[in-house]
Homo-oligomer: A and B are copies of this chain.
Amino acid sequence: MTNTQVKLAARPVGNPQQSDFTIEEAPMPTPNDGEVLIKTQYISLDPAMRGWMNEGKSYIAPIKIGVVFRAGTAGKVVESRNPDFSVGDYVTGGWGVQQFGISNGKDLVKVDTNVAPLTTYLATLGMPGMTAYFGILNTGMPKEGETVVVSGASGAVGSVVGQIAKIKGCKVVGIAGDQEKCDYCVNELGFDACINYKTEDVRKALRTACPEGIDVYFDNVGGDILDIVLGQIRLRARIVICGAISQYNNTEPVKGPSNYLSLLVNRARMEGIVVFDNAANYGKAAMEMAGWIQEGKLHSKVHIEKGIHNFLPTLMMLFSGKNFGKLILEVE
């Protein structure tokens, strides 16, 4: 038996290519004293992964060439030499894009699949959910009655942002790139409106959906949409910079927001967030979100693709918008 691993072979320029990766059959790892062996069931695919492929200072070190690609993971303990874990335990962690992982347990979280399916712990109760929760509440600071706009609205982060803003009594307008996604946001997630940026004039549609302007914008996409929103913010608006998926595969410089002086005119604020800063409070947030899930106030959709060999083409679905819901790779 071997352990299939996906490694970064070269730093991509623009869109990552298959040649930027290697898929290797490593020997099956064996746990030492204090360690566990985990069989990977699900691998989280996230837009942030594109940034991790680049050299240079960021909020986290770049993935090194020739090592297993970093990823959030969920799986089952298949061998344990650590008293805190038993064979059969479900755990989440970050052992990367490989069939089997070894851990000393310190970076593992035991999860209860009776409370929620294992995939939920990579989605709403995992990093994307935490990103949404802390980003919208601590940085967006939405007040009842305010208008909140979120891009990537049907995605793993955006869908949670919008639903939390609804829970807080806000008007919520999503922006997504597909009519089915927009319909889902309005009909199943309870957004007040959702704009299809591929078929609608976003500037006009936003004016119609937010006639009094925008108080909070949670940005997952950057680019032109950020500029359009900046042109429609209200006094003391908060712009949460969570990501800029439209810019990640650029070979040209990132498009800066030409309308940034709207921050001055409106005494508004644009602030970046990184989920890891909230690690100490993940547990509390997960409990509150699990409650919302049980009350039927927080829905989520998971998009599962299969096969560790499909890592790259599956990841690229995020950038073409072909996934619908939190994108997860199932390891067979």
| A residues neighboring B (CB under 8 Å) | 57-59, 222, 227, 241-244, 247, 253-274, 277
A58 to B266, CA, bound (A): 8
Whether A258 contacts B255 by the Cβ 8 Å rule is: yes
Whether B266 contacts A269 by the Cβ 8 Å rule is: no
Say whether, besides A260-B270, A270-B270, A270-B271, A265 and B227 are in contact (CB < 8 Å).
Answer: no
Whether B260 contacts A254 by the Cβ 8 Å rule is: yes
Closest 7 CB pairs of A and B: A256-B256, A264-B272, A263-B272, A256-B258, A269-B271, A256-B257, A270-B270
Which residues of chain B have C-beta atoms less than 8 A from A273's C-beta? 264, 267
Main SS at interface, chain A: loop
Nearest-Cβ distance from residue A279 to partner chain B, whole angstroms: 13
Whether B263 contacts A274 by the Cβ 8 Å rule is: no
Can you give 10 contacting A-B residue pairs, CB < 8 Å? A58-B265, A59-B266, A241-B261, A254-B260, A256-B256, A256-B259, A267-B271, A267-B272, A267-B273, A269-B269
Whether A260 contacts B257 by the Cβ 8 Å rule is: yes
Whether A274 contacts B264 by the Cβ 8 Å rule is: yes
Copies in the complex: 2
Which residues of chain B have C-beta atoms less than 8 A from A265's C-beta? 57-59, 272, 274
Smallest CB gap from A237: residue in B: B272
Nearest-Cβ distance from residue A228 to partner chain B, whole angstroms: 13
Smallest CB gap from A257: residue in B: B256
A264 partner, pick from B241, B260, B261, beta carbons under 8 A: B241
Whether A261 contacts B277 by the Cβ 8 Å rule is: no
A261 to B241, CA, bound (A): 8
Whether A261 contacts B272 by the Cβ 8 Å rule is: yes
Nearest-Cβ distance from residue A38 to partner chain B, whole angstroms: 31
A267 partner, pick from B243, B260, B270, B274, beta carbons under 8 A: B274
A232 to B222, CA, bound (A): 21
Which residues of chain B have C-beta atoms less than 8 A from A259's C-beta? 254, 256
A9 to B274, CA, bound (A): 50
Which residues of chain B have C-beta atoms less than 8 A from A271's C-beta? 263, 267-270
Which residues of chain B have C-beta atoms less than 8 A from A255's C-beta? 256, 258
